[in-house]
Amino acid sequence: MRVFFDGGICLQEGIKEVVLDPHRTTPGSVVSHAHMDHLSRGALMTPETLAVMKVRLGSGGGKPLPIGGSTKYQGFDVKFHDAGHTFGSAMVQVNDVLYTGDFNPEGGMTCGEAKPVRCDTLIIESTYGKRGFSFPPKREVERDLLSWTESEIPKASVAFGAIEFGKAQELVALLNSINIDVAVADSIADIADIYNAHGHHLRYRRVKGLLHEERKEPRAYVVPRAWLGQDAPESFAFFKEMNGSTALVSGWCAVFNFSKGHDLTAQFPLSDHADFDDLIGFASACQPGRVYTVGGSSRELAEEIAHGVGIRAEPLHEHRRRKDGVGR
C-alpha cells in the first residue's frame, strides 16, 4: 500500500484511496479526533467526535464508527482502536496500516488508553518526538495539581487555563474527584454537555451563570488559556480583581517555563499526548516493518526509531503525491 501526504495522510492501493485527517473536507476521509487541526466534515469518525464536531464547527455530518468497531470503507477494512488522547479519539487501522493520530498510552479520566497494535506499517504522531521531551508520571502530576488546588482554595479562587476540548473537560473530572466547585467558560461547557450526554458525569457551572455574590466564593475555574492574560473577557474581569491564583495546564510545561511571561502562579505538565519514551516504546511494541512520522519533530523521531529501534523510519512529509496523481 502506498503512503504519502497530500493535504492529509493518503493511503492508496490500486485505484482505491482513503485520506486520514485531511486539512479540508475530503470525500472518502477518516477523522481521528475533534481537535481543530484534525477535524473536517463528512468523514468516518467516532460518534463522540461527530457530536463534538457539530458544536465546534456549527454543523456537519459524517459516518459514525465506535471504538472497537470495524467496517468496509473506500474498499479498505477499517477499524478504530482507542487512542487515549481525548474523548472519542481513535487510532485508525486500515488493512495492515495503523495510524495513531494523537495518542496517549496512559489515557485519562474521560477516555481510555492507547495500546499497541501489530501492523506492517505504522504512521505515528511526533509532537513530543525529540529526546528529552519527557513528562513526569501522570498520576504524580494529577496529585500535585489537586494538592495545589486544595492549598489555594482557602485563600482565593483558582483559574486553570487549558485547551477548550479535551484537557479542559479532563480537568473538570479531576476537580470533581475532590468535590471542588467548578465553573467553566461557555465554550468548555458546550463540549462538556456532550460528555455527559455520552455517559460521563461531569459537574460544573457556567461562569456567566454565577450570581454577583457567588463570584466572591472560592471555587476553581477552568477557562481558555487566553483568559489568564490580557485577553480575558469582561465577564471574567472579576477574577483578577479578586487576586485569584492562576495555573497553566499543558504538556509543554514540562519543556518550557511559562510562569514569567504569563503572570502565572503555577504550571502543570499534564499532557494528553505520548512523550518521547512512549513514542519509542509504542513504535517498538507494534513491531512494524516500516514507520512514518507525522507532525512536529518528525525528522528527529524518525531518526531515533531507525537508529535506536532498528525499524526503517522516515518523516511522512517527504512523501508527496506525484504529478501523475499516484503516491510516491
- Closest listed residue to residue 113, CA positions, set 302, 285, 239: 285
* pLDDT value of position 205: 98
Q: Looking at the domain 138-268, which fold is it? A: Rossmann fold (3.40.50)
Question: 65 and 50 in contact (C-beta within 8 Å)?
Answer: no
What is the pLDDT, as a whole number, of residue 260?
A: 72
Give the separation between CA 170 and CA 251, rounded to whole angstroms.
13
Determine how many CB atoms are found less than 10 A away from the CB of residue 150.
12
Q: Please provide the DSSP assignment of 174-212 as one string.
A: HHHTTT--EEE-HHHHHHHHHHHHTT-----EEGGG--T
Domain ranges across the chain:
2-133+273-318, 138-268
pLDDT score recorded for residue 91: 98
pLDDT at position 327, please? 57
pLDDT at 324: 52
Q: Give yes or no for a contact between 258 and 267, defined as CB atoms under 8 angstroms apart.
A: yes
For residue 259, the model assigns a pLDDT of 80
Spell out the per-residue pLDDT of the chain, length 328, in tens: 999 999 999 999 999 999 999 999 899 999 999 999 999 999 999 999 999 999 999 887 899 999 999 999 999 999 999 999 999 999 999 999 999 999 999 999 999 999 999 999 999 999 999 999 999 999 999 999 999 999 999 989 999 999 999 999 999 999 999 999 999 999 999 999 999 999 999 999 999 999 999 999 999 999 999 999 878 899 999 998 888 999 999 999 999 998 876 679 999 999 999 999 999 999 999 999 999 999 999 999 999 999 999 999 999 998 876 655 555 5
User: Nearest-5° angle of CA 31, CA 320, CA 293?
Assistant: 60
Q: Residue 241: its pLDDT value, please?
A: 87
Bridge partner list, 2: 12
CATH 3.60.15.10 fits 2-133+273-318, yes or no: yes
Instruction: Please state, in angstroms and rounded to a whole number, the distance separating the CA atoms of residues 302 and 68.
Output: 28
80: helix, coil or strand? Answer: strand
* Within this chain, domains 2-133+273-318 and 138-268 share the same CATH topology: no
Query: Cα separation of 14 and 3, whole Å?
Result: 12
Residues in the chain: 328
State the residue for C-alpha cell 492508496. 12
